[in-house]
């Protein structure tokens, strides 16, 4: 695979509270792991990869809301318009960037897994750092499979430019098996090693989300319940206190940014009169999705007298330091509610979970008892709760509703993004998704 040539680790330690390690650029194979500090530095680089502008620094966060008609493209980068129209082409450089960035993160994790024995660590330290590498590899493979379907699973590092990078696709079911294997390896040893690194709760939250996507309802319910009940998280009473994203009692896992290690989300969302690009604006569809009095509307969307409506969840225009939620407790409540609904379970328990989220938003409790109506309500609550946080497209796809709800989706072949043209041209074992 041509996008996995050598590992380039551009570490920014301010975002990870790793201040005792000198940043490294290119790390030759024979110098990569000489002691614990070099392993720790590479783990920091694994998490730093999440901050890429092609990943949670912008595009992987924005595209699901463009595809799902939560956002319109109103800026100048025309490749974004392909997502608004659900007519993405394989030569779209944004898709290429996502593919390359995620595989880069996998390669970084593979470096740790493959070379960690060179560092001479104790078994406890080795298992701790391996747990983070396995988690990162699992999280990245999950994000690939839900966007592209069957993808190559990479379990060995790419360190030699002369290496054969051609790799076939792995079936979706097999990708999930690899992800579960990695999480099983990580779960017994994971512990926070710096701000923004994974914890046992993060592992369980990923299990819950993965089970939801696979329709494994009992497992999704159990894992979500574990996160809710066992790790001391709580729903922040005021929705307004969640933004700008911060390490609050509801936050399970975030991509961490700072003034030194920043993103330009606010710049892309804010109006030009405020110094932004106004590249994306809220759609008419999302405006009508909120009930009267729902505080999530005012905390997600603002209006400028000259430039009109704009997204206001990302506000650090000057410092460019908005964190990005990857998991928060509200999702676990809605996963538990959805799983219980699909199991035809306790209606009162389902209502309680939904109402925990609705009441915090300032809207009345639901009294719906029909399971089909509850499923639809949960989907809409997810849309409102996680507006502009990159969920709704994946929700429509996993529930099979994108083709019914979006005028621009006329075939289920559009549910998957195209394999990038650059990958198709350089990997002779790769096949394209249908429809592209």
pLDDT score at 24: 34
Using alpha carbons only, how large is the chain's radius of gyration in Å?
21
pLDDT score at 271: 97
How is domain 1-198 classified at the CATH fold level? 1.25.40
Instruction: Say whether 71 sits in a helix, a strand or coil.
Output: strand
pLDDT higher than threshold 70 for residue 397: yes
433 vs 14, more confident: 433
pLDDT in tens, 2-12: 443 333 333 33
Q: What is the C-alpha separation between 236 and 386, in angstroms, rounded?
A: 15
pLDDT in tens, 176-207: 999 999 999 999 999 999 999 999 999 999 99
288 backbone φψ class: left, alpha, beta (φ>0; ψ -120 to 50)? alpha
Mean pLDDT, residues 118-139 taken together: 97
Q: What is the C-alpha separation between 342 and 291, in angstroms, rounded?
A: 25
Q: Cβ contacts of residue 148 below 8 Å, gap of 6+?
A: 99, 416, 417, 419, 433
**Strand pairing partners for 73?**
280
Mean pLDDT, rounded, of the chain: 92
State percent of the chain over pLDDT 90: 90
**For the chain, how many residues are written?**
436
pLDDT higher than threshold 60 for residue 14: no
Mean pLDDT, residues 268-281 taken together: 97
pLDDT score at 161: 60
pLDDT in tens, 229-273: 999 999 999 999 999 999 999 999 999 999 999 999 999 999 999
- CA 326, 278, 416, 341 torsion: positive or negative? positive
pLDDT in tens, 63-90: 999 999 999 999 999 999 999 999 999 9
pLDDT in tens, 22-57: 333 344 444 468 899 999 999 999 999 999 999 999
Mean pLDDT, residues 288-314 taken together: 97
State percent of the chain over pLDDT 70: 92
Tell me which residue of 251, 219, 259 sits closest to 15, measured CA to CA.
259
Token output for 164: 């054969």
pLDDT score at 22: 32
pLDDT score at 166: 86
pLDDT score at 107: 94
Fill in the DSSP letter of residue 27. Answer: -
Q: What is the C-alpha separation between 33 and 18, in angstroms, rounded?
A: 17
pLDDT score at 252: 98
CB under 8 A, 24+ apart: contacts of 96-100: 96/420, 96/421, 96/422, 96/423, 97/52, 97/53, 97/54, 97/59, 98/54, 98/55, 98/59, 98/60, 98/63, 98/147, 99/3, 99/144, 99/148, 99/419, 99/420, 99/423, 100/3, 100/54, 100/420
pLDDT score at 160: 63
Helix axes 36-48, 123-148, angle to 10 degrees: 20
pLDDT score at 149: 98
| Chain region(s) in the chain for CATH 1.25.40.390 | 1-198
Fill in the DSSP letter of residue 366. Answer: P
pLDDT in tens, 134-185: 999 999 999 999 999 999 999 999 876 656 678 999 999 999 999 999 999 9
Q: What is the C-alpha separation between 227 and 203, in angstroms, rounded?
A: 9
Mean pLDDT, residues 337-357 taken together: 98
Residue 329 banded pLDDT, cuts 50, 70, 90 = very high
Burial zone of 344 (CB within 10 Å; 0-12 exposed, 13-18 middle, 19+ buried): exposed
Token output for 175: 């990708």
Q: What is the C-alpha separation between 386 and 183, in angstroms, rounded?
A: 25
Are 104 and 3 in contact by the 8 Å Cβ rule? The answer is yes
Q: What is the C-alpha separation between 102 and 129, in angstroms, rounded?
A: 20
Q: Cβ contacts of residue 419 below 8 Å, gap of 6+?
A: 90, 99, 148, 430, 431, 432, 433, 436
Burial zone of 25 (CB within 10 Å; 0-12 exposed, 13-18 middle, 19+ buried): exposed
Q: What is the C-alpha separation between 67 and 228, in angstroms, rounded?
A: 30
């Amino acid at each position: 695979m041509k996008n996995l040539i050598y590992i380039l680790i551009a570490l920014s330690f301010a975002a990870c509270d790793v201040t005792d390690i000198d940043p490294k650029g290119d790390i030759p194979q024979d110098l990569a792991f000489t002691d614990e500090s070099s392993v720790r530095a590479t783990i920091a680089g694994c998490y730093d990869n999440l901050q890429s502008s092609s990943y949670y620094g912008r595009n992987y966060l924005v595209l699901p809301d463009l595809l799902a008609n939560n956002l319109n493209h109103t800026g100048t980068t025309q490749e974004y318009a392909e997502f608004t129209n659900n007519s993405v082409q394989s030569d779209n450089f944004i898709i290429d960037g996502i593919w390359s960035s995620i595989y880069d993160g996998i390669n970084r994790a593979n470096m740790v897994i493959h070379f960690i024995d060179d560092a001479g660590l104790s078994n406890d330290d080795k298992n701790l750092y391996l747990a983070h590498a396995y988690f990162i590899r699992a999280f990245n493979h999950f994000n690939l499979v839900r966007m592209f379907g069957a993808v190559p699973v990479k379990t060995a590092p790419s360190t030699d430019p002369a290496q054969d990078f051609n790799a076939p696709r792995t079936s979706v079911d097999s990708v999930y098996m690899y992800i579960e294997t990695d999480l099983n390896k990580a779960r017994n040893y994971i512990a926070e090693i710096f701000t923004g690194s994974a914890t046992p709760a993060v592992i369980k939250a990923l299990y819950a989300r993965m089970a939801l996507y696979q329709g494994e309802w009992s497992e999704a319910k159990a894992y979500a319940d574990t996160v809710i009940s066992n790790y001391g998280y709580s729903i922040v009473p005021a929705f307004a206190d969640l933004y700008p994203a911060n390490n609050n009692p509801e936050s399970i896992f975030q991509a961490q940014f700072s003034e030194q290690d920043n993103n330009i989300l606010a710049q892309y969302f804010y109006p030009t009169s405020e110094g932004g690009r106004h590249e994306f604006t809220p759609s008419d569809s999302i405006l009508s999705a909120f009930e009267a009095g729902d505080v999530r509307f005012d905390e997600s969307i603002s209006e400028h007298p000259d430039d009109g409506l704009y997204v206001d969840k990302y506000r650090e225009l000057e410092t460019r330091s908005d964190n990005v939620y990857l998991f928060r407790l509200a999702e676990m409540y809605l996963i538990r509610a959805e799983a219980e609904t699909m199991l035809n379970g306790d209606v009162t328990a389902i209502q309680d979970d939904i109402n925990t989220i609705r009441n915090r938003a300032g809207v009345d409790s639901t009294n719906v008892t029909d399971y089909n109506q509850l499923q639809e309500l949960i989907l809409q609550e997810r849309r409102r709760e996680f507006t502009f946080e990159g969920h709704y497209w994946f929700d429509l796809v996993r529930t099979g509703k994108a083709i019914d709800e979006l005028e621009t989706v006329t075939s289920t072949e559009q549910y998957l993004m195209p394999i990038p043209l650059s990958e198709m041209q350089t990997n002779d074992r790769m096949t394209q998704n249908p429809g592209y």
